Structure 1
């Protein structure tokens, strides 16, 4: 395992930035150890829903976790709004950094992650293979 640290800037799309970092570094498998920072827009898909909810305003990232593969990231996060209410779920494109996002990602060079259709769930699920 090798740890990588990233700082995202205002206006960056959180999900797209992680996907870009994964591909730019030629990684085969990685996962987010921790993420903190702020967002001006959070697009989160809640459990059992097909569409993402969009939250706007001063939002704090409380937690961020997930896997990174060649087919794209699978991320979950919780954010709090200016009133302290917490929202969480699946991260979709369009989560925009407000001031900063500080991320620690672990690269797993001996493993390759892919996402493949799973007949049991009907979704593209994580498949783990030797690199």
Structure 2
């Protein structure tokens, strides 16, 4: 495992930037260990919901964690609005950095993550393989 600190700039899309970072590093597996910072827009899909809810405010990222694979990211985040109300859920594309986002990634160069349909859950779920494994 390799630690990889990352800072995102104003206007960056949080989810897309993380997925692009994995590709740019030529890796197939990483975890977001933690993230803090601010957003002007958050797109969060709440538990049990089909679609993301858009929040627009001066938002503080309280927590951010998840996994990143070539198939996409599975991220959860909690944010607080300017009144201190906290919201949390799945991170969708469209979370826009307001001033900064400071993240710590755990890069896993000996692993390959994939998302495959799991008949038990009905969702695309994480599959973890060693880099040398094909299936």
Task: Using structure 2 for the length normalisation, give the TM-score.
Answer: 0.95
Q: Does 1:92 align with 2:85?
A: no
Q: Does 1:28 align with 2:28?
A: yes
1:109-131 CA distance string (max 9 Å, x none): 12111000111111110001111
Q: What's the offset of the Cα at 1:103?
A: 0.7
Q: What CA RMSD, in Å, does the superposition of the two structures yield over aligned residues?
A: 0.6
Instruction: Name the SS for the 2:48 alignment partner.
Output: coil
1:28-68 CA distance string (max 9 Å, x none): 21000110000000000000000111100100000000000
Distance 2:124 2:71 in 1: 9
Distance 2:53 2:85 in 1: 15
Distance 1:78 1:31 in 2: 17
Q: Does 1:18 align with 2:7?
A: no
* Unmatched segments (≥5 aa) in structure 2: none
Post-superposition, which runs of at least 4 consecutive aligned residues in structure 1 deviate over 6 A? none
Counterpart position of 2:130: 130
